[in-house]
Structure 1
C-alpha cells in the first residue's frame, strides 16, 4: 500500500517551469511599451513627411534617437517573448524548437537592423 498525498503525486507533473519569469518579462515590456510607443509617435509623427535632411538633423539629437532605439529594442523583445511563448505552448517536437530558433533570430535581426539604421541616421 502506497501512502502518497495528492500533492506528492502532483509534484513534477505541472507546467511550473519558467512561467512566472515569462509572465513577469511580458508585463514589464508591455508597461514599458505603454509609455514608449506614444513618445515614439509624438517624436516621429510630426516629421513623417519631411525631407531626408530634416530627418537626419532631427535624429542627430540624442532624445529622439534614444526614444526610437528604446522603442525598437523593447518592442522586439516583447515580440520575441510573445511568439516564443505561443510556439512553446502550441507547437511541439523538432518543429517547435526550430520555429523558436527562427523567431529568435528574426527578432534579433530586425532589432539590430533598426538600431543600426538609426545609428547611421544619427551619426
Structure 2
C-alpha cells in the first residue's frame, strides 16, 4: 500500500493529450474512409471483368488518380494509428515496443510510397 494519491502516481507518465489526439485522428480517418470506400468499391464493382487497359484508363483520369491515392493513403494512416494503439497496449517491453512502432511506421511508409508510385505510373 502506498500513500501516494492517484494524481501523484500519474505524474511523470506523460501527457494525456496524445491519447486524445490518436483517438480523434482515428475517428477522422474512419469517417474520411466512408465516402472513399463507397466510391472505390462502386468503381471496382463497375469494372468487374474489365481488362488491364480499361483499368489503366480509369486510373489515368486525374480525379480517379487523386481519389485512389487519397483512399490508399487514408487507409494506410488509419491502419498505422490503430496498430500503434495495439502495440502500446499489448507490447510491454520498452525495446520491443520501440522496434515494433518503428517497423509499423517503416512498413506503412514503404507501402504508401510503392502505392503512390504505382498510381502515378498508371496515371502518367
Q: TM-score range by the shorter chain?
A: 0.7 to 0.9
Q: Distance in 2 between matches of 1:54 and 1:30?
A: 30
- State the number of aligned residues: 120
Show structure 1 runs of 5+ residues with no match.
Answer: none
Match of 1:99 in 2: 100
Does residue 63 of structure 1 match 2:55? no
TM-score, normalising length: structure 1: 0.86
Shift of 1:116: 0.9
Deviations 1:24-51, CA, capped at 9 Å, x for gaps: 1111101001111111111222224211
Q: Distance in 1 between matches of 2:40 and 2:64?
A: 8
| Distance of aligned partners of 1:13 and 1:40 in 2 relative to their CA distance in 1, 3 Å threshold | same
TM-score, normalising length: structure 2: 0.85
1:46-85 alignment, distance < 5 Å: 46-85=46-85
Deviations 1:47-92, CA, capped at 9 Å, x for gaps: 2421121111111111221211110000000000000111012112
Does residue 12 of structure 1 match 2:6? no
User: Does the 8 A contact of 1:56 with 1:121 survive in 2?
Assistant: yes
| Distance of aligned partners of 1:44 and 1:63 in 2 relative to their CA distance in 1, 3 Å threshold | farther
Q: Distance in 2 between matches of 1:103 and 1:91?
A: 13
Alignment RMSD: 2.1
Q: Distance in 2 between matches of 1:6 and 1:95?
A: 31
